[in-house]
């Protein structure tokens, strides 16, 4: 049991960490960890995502050790812990990017970070660090392309990070899923095609989800998932900065995550803005999505041994 046991210690007690996991200790060998990047100065509309990590930690108190959908024990198998937050620099996107990249560069003994943002600008420095071990393929869930060149003359914002990542050669194949926002012009679509991105629009997900899942599972090599919570319909995830109606249900989003069979090297859930949330539903969903991501990683890490031991324990 990696978590504080809710059967001994009620869910509303104890110090808040992701999934009620232990804080990471130096020298401990873990295969995955939770990390908060509470930065929201690169958002183009409603702020508040700086409070995302703490809200997601609070909501994650509901997570339990066994994930029936994926038949795995993600926290135990990955020996997962909570690494706290990166010391971001409010008011400076560039300084924060440096801090994030440096932070991840300095962690030696991890396989996969599971990150809570923050606005979407935080994904760029994460990719800058991860890609030092080779390009990663990207699955990007979002209602927006995030491929614009600049906002107000600024090149590093939550709407430009993907264009920068492609220009910097950090990513291999890129799949965008759930796209539906109104655009600045029809030319935006051409620009995305020119960048070589595989776009899966929201109607394709709604009409043929299985097809979308097999497309994603056909990706060869390492995969990083960046999930903007605004891919989910604001009816299910209202707590976000740039909401777009007509999106995925929480069940559809969870189902895609549960169906993935990829070599996952990390994941983020960004743009959760608790001041716009209702009854913690958005942060609750965000915590479950990270849990499903960790479960994908756990499945691929191999859980036979652990499941065997578990069965033996039950028998004795
Ligand atoms: Mn978005």
d(CA 173, CA 198): 8
What pTM did the predictor assign?
Answer: 0.95
In three-state secondary structure terms, 174 is strand
Distance linking the first and last C-alpha atoms of the chain:
17
User: Do 140 and 195 meet the contact criterion of CB atoms below 8 Å apart?
Assistant: no
| Predicted confidence (pLDDT) per residue in 95-141, tens digit | 999 999 999 999 865 579 999 999 999 999 999 999 999 999 999 99
pLDDT grade, residue 29 (50/70/90)?
Answer: confident
The candidate with the shortest Cα–Cα distance to 33, out of 17, 12, 49, 9, is 17
The candidate with the shortest Cα–Cα distance to 166, out of 197, 143, 132, is 197
Which domains occur in the chain, in start order? 18-315 (3.40.800.10)
d(CA 188, CA 105): 34
- Residue 14 Cα to ligand 1 midpoint, Å, equals 34
pLDDT reading at 228 higher than 80: yes
User: Do 189 and 183 meet the contact criterion of CB atoms below 8 Å apart?
Assistant: yes
- Other residues' Cβ atoms within 10 Å of the Cβ of residue 245: 10
Known binding site: residues?
120, 142, 144, 146, 228, 230
| Predicted confidence (pLDDT) per residue in 234-250, tens digit | 999 999 999 999 999 99
- Residue 137 Cα to ligand 1 midpoint, Å, equals 19
Mean pLDDT calculated for residue range 263-273? 97
Known binding site for Mn(2+): residues?
120, 142, 144, 146, 228, 230
Q: Residues 29-48, buried b or exposed e (16+ Cβ, 10 A)?
A: ebbbbbbbbbbbbbbbebbb
d(CA 52, CA 287): 10
């Amino acid at each position: 049991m990696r978590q504080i046991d809710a059967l001994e210690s009620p869910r509303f007690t104890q110090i808040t960490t992701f999934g009620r996991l232990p804080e990471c200790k130096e020298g401990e060998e873990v295969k995955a960890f939770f990390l908060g990047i509470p930065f929201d100065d690169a958002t183009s509309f409603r702020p508040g995502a700086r409070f995302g990590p703490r809200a997601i930690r609070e909501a994650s108190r509901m997570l339990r050790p066994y994930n029936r959908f994926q038949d795995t024990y993600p926290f135990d198998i990955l020996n997962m812990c909570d690494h706290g937050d990166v010391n971001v620099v409010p008011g400076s996107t560039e300084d924060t990017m440096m801090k994030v990249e440096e932070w991840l560069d300095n962690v030696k003994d991890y396989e996969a970070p599971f990150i809570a943002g923050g606005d979407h600008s935080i994904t760029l420095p994460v990719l800058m660090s991860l890609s030092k071990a080779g390009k990663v393929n990207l699955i990007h869930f979002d209602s927006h392309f995030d491929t614009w060149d600049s906002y107000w003359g600024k090149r590093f914002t939550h709407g430009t990070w993907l264009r920068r990542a492609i220009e910097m050669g950090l990513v291999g194949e890129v799949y965008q899923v759930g796209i539906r926002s109104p655009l600045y012009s029809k030319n935006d679509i051409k620009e995305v095609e020119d960048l070589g991105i595989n776009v899966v629009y929201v109607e394709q997900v709604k009409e043929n989800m299985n097809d979308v899942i097999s497309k994603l599972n056909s990706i060869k090599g390492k995969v990083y998932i960046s999930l903007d919570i605004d891919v989910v319909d604001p009816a299910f995830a209202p707590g976000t900065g740039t909401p777009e109606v007509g999106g995925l249900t929480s069940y559809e989003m969870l189902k895609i995550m549960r169906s993935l069979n990829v070599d996952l090297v990390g994941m983020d859930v960004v743009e959760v803005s608790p001041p716009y949330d209702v009854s913690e539903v958005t942060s609750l969903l965000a915590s479950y999505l990270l849990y499903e991501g960790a479960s994908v990683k756990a499945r691929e890490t191999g859980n036979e041994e652990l499941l065997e031991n578990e069965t033996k324990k039950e028998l004795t």
